[in-house]
Structure 1
C-alpha cells in the first residue's frame, strides 16, 4: 500500500516498467494492482483534511507527491501500460488495476 506514493514520477515509471516485464500479457490475465491516493476523489470533510496533511508531509519528507488521476494515467502510459481501471475507492485511497 502506498509504495509508489513516496517516489518521484521518474522512479515510479522505472518501478512500474520492471513490474510490466514480470507479468504476463493482458489477455493471459496480467495486471498490476496499485493501492494509492488519488487526489480529487474526496471533496470535503476529514478526508480532505487528511489529503492536505499528507501534502505537507510529502513536501518535507520525501521525493514523492500526491497525484490526481491524470497524473497516474501519464505514469502508467510512460511505463508502457495500455490501460488502467480504478476498481474501488477507499476514502482517499483507490485500488487501481493497471494492464500491460
Structure 2
C-alpha cells in the first residue's frame, strides 16, 4: 500500500488506517488517490474506521479513549476524531469527504479526489 495500489473505480479500507501514524496514513491515501479516477468519473475511497467523539455518551467515549491508549502501546497508530481524519485527507490531496453512516463508534467515510 505504500508503493502502489492497482487501478480501481473505488478503494475500500476497513479498519486499516488506525494501525498507522498520520504520516503513514497520508502515504497510503496518496497511493489510493493515484489508483482511482476523478470524482466526476466516480472515483472514491471508502474508509470504515472508528471515529472518536463524545456524542455516544461518556462511557462509550471513555472506551474509545482506552482503545486509543491500547493502539498507542501496541501499534504506531491511534483512533481519530473527524477533525483528525479531515486533516489527513487534505494532506493526502483529497478535495472532499463525507461521513455516510455512523454505526456505534464506526463510521463509513467516502473520500473524493
Query: How many residues are paired up?
Result: 100
SS of the residue corresponding to residue 80 of structure 2 reads coil
Task: Tell me which of 102, 105, 111 is aligned to 1:89.
Answer: 102
For residue 52 of structure 1, report the CA deviation from its aligned partner. Answer: 2.6
> Structure 1: how far apart are the matches of 2:94 and 2:69?
30
Deviating beyond 6 angstroms after TM superposition, the runs of 4 or more aligned structure 1 residues are: none
Q: Does 1:75 align with 2:84?
A: no
Is 2:59 aligned against 1:55? no
Q: How does 1:4-83 map to 2 (within 5 A)?
A: 4-40=17-53, 42-44=55-57, 47-83=60-96
Shift of 1:45: 5.8
TM superposition score normalised by structure 2: 0.82
Instruction: Provide the alpha-carbon RMSD of the alignment.
Output: 1.4
Greater percentage in strand: 2
Q: CA deviation at 1:58?
A: 1.1
8 Å contact from structure 1 (residues 42, 91) kept in 2: no
8 Å CA contact 2:54–2:61 kept in 1: the answer is no
Q: After the TM superposition, which of the residue ranges 59-68 and 39-48 deviates more from structure 2?
A: 39-48
Give the unaligned 5+ runs of structure 2.
1-13
Q: What residue ranges of structure 1 are gaps of 5+ in the alignment?
A: none
